[in-house]
Structure 1
Amino acid sequence: MTTLPLAPVRTLSLRARAGRRGLWAVGWLAASVCAAALALLAAPPPHRVWGQSAAVGYLGAALFACALPRPQARTLSVASALTGAVVIPFLSLTLTGQAQSEVRVVERSAALLVGTGSPYLATPETVTDYNPYLPGMALFGLPRELFGDGSALTRLLGDARLWCALALVACLVAGYVAVRRGGQGRPKAPLTQGGSTPWVALTVLVSSPLVALPLAVSGVDLPLAGLCCLGIALATRGRAGGAALALAAACALKWTALPAVAVVGALLVHRADGRVLARYVAVWLAGTTALVLPFAVLAPGPLVDQVFAFPTGRAAVATPADSPLPGRLLADLGPTGWYTAVALLVCGGVAVALSLVLRPPADVRAAADRLALGLCVAFSFAPAARFGYFALPLVLVVWARIAAGPPGTALPLGSATAAGLRPHAVPGAGVIRASRLPVALKERL
């Protein structure tokens, strides 16, 4: 057996360590620059508050990454970013009552739900009177009804952003554990790989501008992102019922979760059989119907007008979602442009659907990437959308790579068969593809 000389291995280790430290510092510095630009240029006051705090936190993270030895550098970098981009702006904005308008819309919908049984105003007159969310979103506003606006603690506990953030974190962690460990009676994959710590990676994701900014100023899209990740994770383990329930909950929040239903269905078709797909569809239909139908029957007009017509620019009041994306630019040209945008949206959806039939996703990475692609197409050609919507597909892509581990990682054969999956549908079934030398080097870094 040939052994490598110790000196080249040490040189390689030092170079890899320096490269990783440099990337770490550059990433935090880029985030700091983006946050500072937002603090200077953004119009909404909550965005400026976040930008000022986050810019300092990210800059501290970059300096710690450069100046301190590992692992102190990594620990303090993450702590600085989390404190500056999440903790401080979140507490500052919630305790002073500053938020994007959708936070108040969610909390008002909860008050309407308690008082009238419907989360929608019967005759909305202004933009903030419209509730563009499905009935499930009102649940995140219920803590405001419970705690009120008395002390600082009750203001914090009653804020919808807190519960949206907790839902996201819970779903990301549960999805990660589902991907790495599977279910009861199945072989367990390690929760860490290659000497790295995925829990640190998840914390970095939450601290990044992708999550930290919406978490602090709005938060309403975070539960949707978390539930989509959880649904994909459960589907990769053959848990059709759990995946269906997660996506039923997502579809009770926003109708933009519908593409995830198709992607997860294609993933189950590839990895399981028709009975699993039938169980998935049945559970999803039952769950979605139970969560949405009672409110649709109670107030069908307001639901259609506010949830579907308003976001697509067909309501009496124009939607504030006016980022200069292709669909919005076409819609601004008049009725012909609006129908053109809708036609392009449908064509894009059909193309993504065909890709699911011709080449269904085989694992968590492929499923997340395909869903991210479908959402990007939808947001690009929707008659009304915001650049901020693209945070959802980016979170999906990043989370999937954290959960699945390094490329080449494969489920053991026993894990696939115990989950009721077809062994030939699992890449690398029966083997664990890894290289001992890179693992050993990563452990030394």
Structure 2
Amino acid sequence: MIADAPTARHRRWRTLDNAAGGLALDLGLYGASALFAAITAVTSTLLPHRAWGAVAAVGYLVAALAVVVQLLLRRRTPTSRLVGLPARWAITAFTWVSTALLPVVWQSIQRSGGRTDRAQEEVLVVEQAGIRLLEHGTPYLGRDAIAALPAGEQLLGYTPYQPGMAIFGLPRALVDAPWTDARVWFAVGTALALALAVNALRTAPATGPVGDNWRGAALLRGVQAATVLPVCALTLATGGDDLPVLALCLLALALAAADRPGQAGLAVGLAGALKLLAWPVALVLIVWGLTRRTGLRVAAGAIGLPVAALLPALLVDRDALIENVLRFPLGHGLVTSPAQSPFPGYLIATALPAGRLVATALLIAAGVAIAVRLVRRPPRTAVATALICGYGLLAAIALMPSTRFGYLLYPLALLTWAPALHRPTPTVPITPAPEQLSGRATSV
């Protein structure tokens, strides 16, 4: 018997993932990503995206060719170290460097040299928030100040993030240089959080037939989903603000799997201090903590850190805080969000009479269904927590009247991360009582 053993769905995923020692899926990932990057480089209407595609297509193609070489080597020498898990980790690291970190550095240098088409609006917003935080004690402009901006700049006057996001803009507020680009610090924060998450899972006990080897492969796949998957690499290279939030959520789940609830609360609390999208993950983690009688320890960080981040902005300018983090995301700002990806919620909101109300009602209904699920069947493992967060965010992104395609990186990474969170340990065998042994001896 194995505690917390993978379900049938996870076993099917393992069968697919283990094909050719994991190399078959690696080849599919890198090959499809190279095609996506090449198409982006040629057809995208966003110049930062086209610049990313031109660099990333080469990185993905080199990775795909490396996997082809591995497959050929595996046929001749199946036990070769060049086709094992460490080699797959090395190719993943190369791919992330070449498809995400290199474009970040390249576009930052070009932007510092005068190119104004080498960063998405999110980068400018975060850097301006850092400047305002340093000069005025709050990253937010009030409604009157935004109204006084030229019509074409009012959208950039809004900062629809939690106050902690402005920290990534502070280096730019101090020095104007390529290394102070907010994306550089998004990448640093992402790498640090993912490294801590991997270390937490590697040091957590995992024994038995689905122990260390399987966990290593599952962990690699989870890291790939958070780094080299095009929706993640493209986002980090051109905008980047979602990646440290995602990485901190993955760290929180890894710490939960390692039975470190207080630290899990701190990690998801840091994510919640950056962006509202982390709050649902914090809520589910608190419910997980309650099942283990550690709910207060999780909640202390998960709730305390976002509140601590909000308090200074609330004291400096309450109206500006409400305008940016509530009115604007809800569609009541001076301008509307340009987030218009063709998901069901957006299509319903734009195509049906009173469509926005219908989409909002569906979103609320989905939230109620998840809440009922949490009450009736609260998650008792980190795996269940990750799955609820992944499917819940997927439903929310699909039904939100205004959303972005890039937000899919959250559910994709969370769902792929879940298999690495299993903690299989063999059940202690029951030793027969002495009288049972003596009874057997007598019968013999």
Instruction: Give the C-alpha shift of residue 337 in structure 1.
Output: 2.2
* 82 and 232 in structure 1: CA distance in 2 versus 1, 3 angstrom threshold: closer
Output the CA distance in 1 between the equivalents of 2:44 and 2:122.
Answer: 17
- Superposed CA deviations along residues 172-221 of structure 1, whole A, max 9, x for unmatched, are 22223323424xxxx67699525956775566442231321111111100
- 1:91 corresponding residue in structure 2: 105
Instruction: Give the C-alpha shift of residue 59 in structure 1.
Output: 1.5
- 1:117 corresponding residue in structure 2: 137
1:58 maps onto 2:60 in alignment: yes
1:315-394 mapped onto 2 (5 Å cutoff) = 315-332=333-350, 336-394=354-412
* 170 and 88 in structure 1: CA distance in 2 versus 1, 3 angstrom threshold: closer
- Name the SS for the 2:338 alignment partner: coil
Moved more, 102-111 or 39-48: 39-48
- 1:440 corresponding residue in structure 2: none
Instruction: Give the C-alpha shift of residue 20 in structure 1.
Output: 4.0
Structure 1 residue aligned with 2:290, among 255, 269, 278? 269
* 221 and 351 in structure 1: CA distance in 2 versus 1, 3 angstrom threshold: same
Output the CA distance in 2 between the equivalents of 1:212 and 1:28.
Answer: 12
- Superposed CA deviations along residues 21-60 of structure 1, whole A, max 9, x for unmatched, are 3333232111111111212221111111111211121112
Structure 2 residue aligned with 1:135, among 154, 163, 167? 163
1:68-107 mapped onto 2 (5 Å cutoff) = 68=70, 69=73, 71-72=81-82, 74=87, 77-78=91-92, 81-97=95-111, 98-107=118-127
- Superposed CA deviations along residues 126-177 of structure 1, whole A, max 9, x for unmatched, are 111111111000001111123x22xxxx412x11112212222222222233
- Name the SS for the 1:332 alignment partner: helix
Instruction: Give the C-alpha shift of residue 359 in structure 1.
Output: 1.9
Output the CA distance in 1 between the equivalents of 2:25 and 2:307.
Answer: 47
* 327 and 79 in structure 1: CA distance in 2 versus 1, 3 angstrom threshold: closer
Letter paired with 1:52? A
Letter paired with 1:167? G
Gaps of 5+ in 1: 1-15, 413-427, 432-445
Instruction: Give the C-alpha shift of residue 400 in structure 1.
Output: 3.1
Output the CA distance in 2 between the equivalents of 1:328 and 1:242.
Answer: 37
Instruction: Give the C-alpha shift of residue 253 in structure 1.
Output: 1.2
Tell me if structure 2 keeps the 8 A contact 1:100–1:217: yes
- 1:232 corresponding residue in structure 2: 253
Moved more, 379-388 or 85-94: 85-94
1:155 maps onto 2:178 in alignment: yes
Output the CA distance in 2 between the equivalents of 1:19 and 1:181.
Answer: 23
- 2:436 corresponding residue in structure 1: none
Asked which structure has the greater RCO (Cα within 8 Å, sep 6+), the reply is: 2
- 1:37 corresponding residue in structure 2: 39
* 430 and 364 in structure 1: CA distance in 2 versus 1, 3 angstrom threshold: farther
Output the CA distance in 1 between the equivalents of 2:375 and 2:215.
Answer: 38
Output the CA distance in 2 between the equivalents of 1:137 and 1:173.
Answer: 20
Instruction: Give the C-alpha shift of residue 258 in structure 1.
Output: 1.5
* 370 and 155 in structure 1: CA distance in 2 versus 1, 3 angstrom threshold: same
Report the aligned-residue RMSD.
Answer: 2.7
Moved more, 290-299 or 277-286: 277-286
Structure 2 residue aligned with 1:213, among 211, 217, 234? 234
1:178 maps onto 2:175 in alignment: no
Give the number of aligned pairs.
383
Instruction: Give the C-alpha shift of residue 353 in structure 1.
Output: 1.4
- 1:169 corresponding residue in structure 2: 191
* 315 and 176 in structure 1: CA distance in 2 versus 1, 3 angstrom threshold: same
* 290 and 87 in structure 1: CA distance in 2 versus 1, 3 angstrom threshold: closer
Letter paired with 1:36? A
Letter paired with 2:33? A
Output the CA distance in 2 between the equivalents of 1:86 and 1:282.
Answer: 34
* 111 and 258 in structure 1: CA distance in 2 versus 1, 3 angstrom threshold: same
Instruction: Give the C-alpha shift of residue 365 in structure 1.
Output: 2.3
* 66 and 335 in structure 1: CA distance in 2 versus 1, 3 angstrom threshold: same
1:404 maps onto 2:421 in alignment: yes
- Superposed CA deviations along residues 396-438 of structure 1, whole A, max 9, x for unmatched, are 222333x336xxx51x4xxxxxxxxxxxxxxx6558xxxxxxx
Under a length normalisation based on structure 1, what TM-score does the superposition of the two structures give?
0.78
Q: Percent identity?
A: 35
Tell me if structure 2 keeps the 8 A contact 1:172–1:399: no
Output the CA distance in 2 between the equivalents of 1:244 and 1:80.
Answer: 32
Instruction: Give the C-alpha shift of residue 119 in structure 1.
Output: 0.4
Letter paired with 1:241? G
Tell me if structure 1 keeps the 8 A contact 2:138–2:312: no
Output the CA distance in 1 between the equivalents of 2:62 and 2:394.
Answer: 33
1:294-333 mapped onto 2 (5 Å cutoff) = 294-332=312-350
Letter paired with 1:62? A
* 77 and 304 in structure 1: CA distance in 2 versus 1, 3 angstrom threshold: same
Output the CA distance in 1 between the equivalents of 2:307 and 2:25.
Answer: 47
- 2:433 corresponding residue in structure 1: none
1:16-31 mapped onto 2 (5 Å cutoff) = 18=20, 20-31=22-33
- 1:395 corresponding residue in structure 2: 413
Instruction: Give the C-alpha shift of residue 394 in structure 1.
Output: 1.0
* 56 and 71 in structure 1: CA distance in 2 versus 1, 3 angstrom threshold: farther
Tell me if structure 2 keeps the 8 A contact 1:102–1:220: yes
Under a length normalisation based on structure 2, what TM-score does the superposition of the two structures give?
0.78
- Superposed CA deviations along residues 5-34 of structure 1, whole A, max 9, x for unmatched, are xxxxxxxxxxx8747433332321111111
Moved more, 322-331 or 70-79: 70-79
Instruction: Give the C-alpha shift of residue 301 in structure 1.
Output: 1.6
